[in-house]
């Protein structure tokens, strides 16, 4: 039995903007590193700093509407830069750095490629805390979910092929479609918020109304994201039960 507590993996705390791949010194020749991924002097690959967030790692601003084609192109370009295949003839130290960098790059791309994961990551990054994990239904769904639990219970204890079982299945299937539609609505709403967020960032105002708007957007996205996760898990349960 594992006797340990496991913290949710925490994204790195927020950091000042414009701190690109912050490194002071090349691990190999000890000269100041000015290049992006390699030391200008000795041309050795440099480790991606632990403080580098995924947006910085892939060279994108903290925006929520990213062009997937550009993201992929950048991922491919950086894969060609860091992949261990190209370090086989290099020193063990460089091989280790390449392996670590490639792993970070892969995680960064996986996170940013998916709009929902990207938003969850950005919200965590901006608010400096992990995402909420909802254990009870969101208020607007409370009664519906309670009713659904009862139907599920009845379905589980019924004979699948009986009249009752078939009727309950039909009810559950309708319910599933309803919830899936609800999730799509939430996602559409989220995408509108993503655009709002990006516009706010692009304006770059440092006024207090802008700060209030920022906090409001973050809170709204955070709530919607956790509601969406909750609904998704209910839908998955539902699908597994009636499958």
Q: Give the footprint of other proteins on this chain (CB under 8 A).
A: 1-7, 9, 76, 79-80, 83-86, 88-89, 99-100, 102-104, 106-107, 109-110
**Mind spelling out the 3-state secondary structure of 41-88?**
CCCCECCCCCCCCHHHHHCCCCCCCCCHHHHHHHHHHHHHHHCHHHHC
Cα angle value 199/202/208 (rounded, 5°): 85
The helix/strand/coil state of 25 is strand
Which residue's entry shows tokens 């601003």?
Answer: 61
Q: How far apart are CA 228 and CA 138, in angstroms?
A: 10
Residue 184: helix, strand or coil by DSSP? helix
- CA-nearest of 82, 15, 89 to 46 is 82
CB of 12 to other proteins, least distance (A): 12
Q: Which is nearer to other proteins, 124 or 217 (CB)?
A: 124
Beta carbon of residue 60, minimum distance to other proteins (angstroms, whole number): 18
Comparing CB distances to other proteins, the nearer of 6 and 188 is: 6
Q: How far is the CB of 23 from other proteins (least distance, A)?
A: 18
Least distance to other proteins, CB of residue 223, Å: 26
108, two tokens: 């960064």
32 φ/ψ angles, rounded to the nearest 5 degrees: -65, 135
Which residue(s) pair with 38 in the sheet?
Answer: 45
Neighbouring C-beta atoms of residue 203, cutoff 10 Å: 10
Shortest Cβ 138–other proteins spacing (Å): 25
Cβ neighbours of residue 37 closer than 8 Å, sequence gap 6 or more: 21, 45, 46, 78, 81, 82, 101
Q: How far is the CB of 99 from other proteins (least distance, A)?
A: 5
Provide the minimum distance between the beta carbon of 213 and other proteins in the complex, in angstroms, as a whole number.
34
> Of 109 and 197, which has the nearer Cβ to other proteins?
109
- Tokens at 70, concatenated: 């550009």
Between 25 and 103, name the residue whose CB sits nearer to other proteins.
103
């Amino acid at each position: 039995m594992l006797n340990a507590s496991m913290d949710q993996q925490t994204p790195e705390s927020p950091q000042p903007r414009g701190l690109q791949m912050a490194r002071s010194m090349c691990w190999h020749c000890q000269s100041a590193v000015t290049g992006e991924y390699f030391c200008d002097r000795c041309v050795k690959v440099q480790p991606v700093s632990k403080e580098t967030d995924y947006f910085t790692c892939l060279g994108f601003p903290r925006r929520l509407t990213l062009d997937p084609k550009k993201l992929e192109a950048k991922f491919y370009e950086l894969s060609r830069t860091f992949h261990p295949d190209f370090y086989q003839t290099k020193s063990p130290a460089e091989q280790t750095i390449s392996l670590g960098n490639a792993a970070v790059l892969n995680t960064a791309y996986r996170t940013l490629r998916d709009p929902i994961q990207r938003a969850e990551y950005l919200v965590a990054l901006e608010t400096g805390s992990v995402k909420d994990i909802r254990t009870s239904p969101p208020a607007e769904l409370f009664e519906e979910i309670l009713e659904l639990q009862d139907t599920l219970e009845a379905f589980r204890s019924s004979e699948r092929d009986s009249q009752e079982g078939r009727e309950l299945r039909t009810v559950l299937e309708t319910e599933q479609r309803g919830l899936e539609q609800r999730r799509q609505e939430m996602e559409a709403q989220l995408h509108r918020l993503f655009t709002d967020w990006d516009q706010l960032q692009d304006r770059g105002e440092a006024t207090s109304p802008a700060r209030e708007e920022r906090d409001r957007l973050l809170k709204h996205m955070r709530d919607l994201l956790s509601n969406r996760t909750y609904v998704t898990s209910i839908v998955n349960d539902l699908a597994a039960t009636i499958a």
